[in-house]
Amino acid sequence: MEHPFALELRNIDKIFASKRQIFSRLSFSLRQGEYVAITGESGIGKSTLLNLIAGLDFPNEGEVLINGTLLPKDDNAATLLRRKHYGFIFQAFHILPHLTILQNVALPLLLNQCSIDRAQAMLLAVGLADREQDFPHQLSGGELQRVAIARALVHQPKLILADEPTGNLDPETARDILNLLRTEIKASGAAAILVTHSQFAAQTADRILQLTASGLSAVDRP
């Protein structure tokens, strides 16, 4: 039976080397298939929160659980978990320039030693089936973010982490990408966290949380 929560944070404390405490007993749960937006002022700790969830950084106290399993603090074990269960979408795309679009999307499948057949299907889903042999420099910003969405979802991860995915896009392209992101996340059944400064982007999520010095709190929709 599948665990009810894709992600759980339990009483997380995070203190930087400068002695600045950024989180104190922070707790949060994300249900399977749920899409949540997290907003907050610059410097409040949104990127740190994503790093803790991804196992790229570790809390001083508390636990991070993925599908009911404690996130390992061993770097190699955490890397294997990320490859299998996570999909990442970044503001700066992070598409590898020396690989074709198809090769970029297939990369998570290769790392997980899976068949690469789904890569073509994902490019079709994001509207780029005719660009699979092109290289990243031949694509627009909006097209590159479509590639990033396909790559993040191709290996059917349990959790998608999207960090300001429309930050480098014009408003019209951003709207298209946000709609595509929601559609593809919902089609995949993955849970997802969207970190954004944009209230418009946040409105595409199932629920909105604001990160403040006091922790995470629900935001009422207008």
What digits encode the pLDDT tens for the residues 51-62? 999 988 899 999
- Greater pLDDT, 221 or 175: 175
Residue 82 has pLDDT above 70, yes or no: yes
Average pLDDT, the chain: 91
Q: Where are the beta strands (DSSP E) in 95-172?
A: 159-163
How far apart, in whole angstroms, are the C-alpha atoms of residue 25 and residue 80?
A: 27
Give the 3-state secondary structure of residue 173.
helix
Instruction: Quick: pLDDT tens for 69-80.
Output: 899 888 888 888
Instruction: Quick: pLDDT tens for 125-168.
Output: 999 999 999 999 999 999 999 999 999 999 989 899 999 888 88
Q: How confident is the model at residue 1 (pLDDT cuts 50, 70, 90)?
A: low
How far apart, in whole angstroms, are the C-alpha atoms of residue 193 and residue 184?
A: 14
Q: Which CATH number is correct for 5-217, 3.40.50.300, 3.50.50.60, 1.20.20.10, 3.40.50.620? A: 3.40.50.300
Q: Please report the pLDDT score of residue 74 as a whole number.
A: 85
Which of 17-23's residues contact partners 24+ apart within 8 Å by CB, and which partners? Answer: 22/48, 23/48, 23/49, 23/59, 23/215
- Helix ranges restricted to H, 55-94: 75-85
Q: Considering only CA atoms, which of 167, 101, 83, 179 is closest in space to residue 138?
A: 101
The percentage of residues in the chain with a pLDDT greater than 70, rounded to a whole number, is 99
Residue that is written with structure tokens 């709609």 in the block: 179
Dihedral sign for Cα atoms in the order 198, 203, 204, 205: positive
